[in-house]
Structure 1
Amino acid sequence: MKSFLYFIGVLIVIFVIFQFIPSYEKANPTFDKTKEIKISKDLKSIFKKSCYDCHSFETNWPWYADVAPMKWVVRRDVVEGRKALNFSIWDSYPNAKKEELKKKIFRSINLAMPLPQYLWLHPDAKLSSDDKKKVQNWASNGKGYIKMEVR
């Protein structure tokens, strides 16, 4: 019993020390709203529900984004998500980049996004098949499909 309590004490000390290890800054920078993506209200609500936490400057930071080790994961995912695609600055992207991003959105909406670990804590972000079709229709400029290059 004594060794178990010692073990628990060591874990608590390690947990407390982890809280002082820095991570990415948790921030929502101000941005020019005129650069934000311009889409229908229906599509925007889908994106806000399932994408904006990682792919915009409008992240809703959960409480666990301040607690190690989760803070490292959450903050990294947001930083990397914003680098890959940021709906808050969509209109500042060149048209060629927008089209490339749309292709990536089209592909990833069925396979990888939202991330499974995000859905564990945000089950309401799961996209319905109807939501996926709407996003893919937008991403394909109304065609419903995208011609993919095979490399």
Structure 2
Amino acid sequence: MTKRNKILLAIALILVAIQLIRPARNNGEAMGPNDISKAYQVPAEVHTVLQQSCYDCHSNKTNYPWYANIQPIGWWLQSHINDGKRHLNFSEYGTYAEKKAKHKFEEIEDAAANGWMPMESYLWMHPETKLTPDQSKAIAQWAGALK
């Protein structure tokens, strides 16, 4: 076996081996007792958009795409989800102190008004989650009224 073939075999074995190391999944309850819709008035139109475009990264329940099963992509994806939940978790919004909740509403308003969310890296594979101008405006107005 040539040196090149040994290297290719080693790489292949490593790629197979890392498939066995899987990150913990975000498979909790999206709409539990602390969900934002239980703590605040959320218009149905806004809540639908939040669920379709935001909850995968900002709730306790992610609908994983097929490619999340391929490592190291799955690790990277789970890292983004964990980071998103650290910044804002709609499933736990009811547990936020009033000051924190108001600040998060300001951030939601800014993100919607400026088109910062969903992230471009998410939109590449999920273009259907891109907010329309009307959806962005509705979210920004709703969040702005609550801040």
TM-score tier after normalising by the smaller chain length: 0.7 to 0.9
**Map of 2:88 onto structure 1:** 85
One-letter code of the match for 1:84? H
8 A Cα contact 2:30 2:61, kept in partner: no
**Map of 2:44 onto structure 1:** 41
**Map of 2:18 onto structure 1:** 18
**Map of 2:129 onto structure 1:** 125
- Please point out which of 77, 99, 116 is paired with 1:112: 116
Matched-pair identity in %: 30
Does structure 1 residue 96 correspond to structure 2 residue 80? no
CA distance in 2, matches of 1:96, 1:134: 23
More helix by share: 2
8 A Cα contact 2:88 2:104, kept in partner: yes
> 1:19 deviation in Å?
1.4
8 A Cα contact 2:29 2:61, kept in partner: no
CA distance in 1, matches of 2:66, 2:6: 29
Flag structure 2 segments of 5+ consecutive residues without an equivalent.
none
> 1:81 deviation in Å?
1.1
CA distance in 2, matches of 1:68, 1:92: 33
- Please point out which of 65, 70, 85 is paired with 1:67: 70
- Please point out which of 61, 78, 83 is paired with 1:58: 61
Which digits, 9 at most, give the CA deviation of each residue in 1:41-97, with x for residues without a partner? 100111011100000112112222221111011111111111111111211211111
CA distance in 2, matches of 1:61, 1:104: 25
User: Normalising to structure 2: TM-score of the pair?
Assistant: 0.82
One-letter code of the match for 2:67? Y
> 1:22 deviation in Å?
4.5
One-letter code of the match for 1:93? Y
User: Normalising to structure 1: TM-score of the pair?
Assistant: 0.80
Name the count of aligned residue pairs.
141
One-letter code of the match for 2:70? V
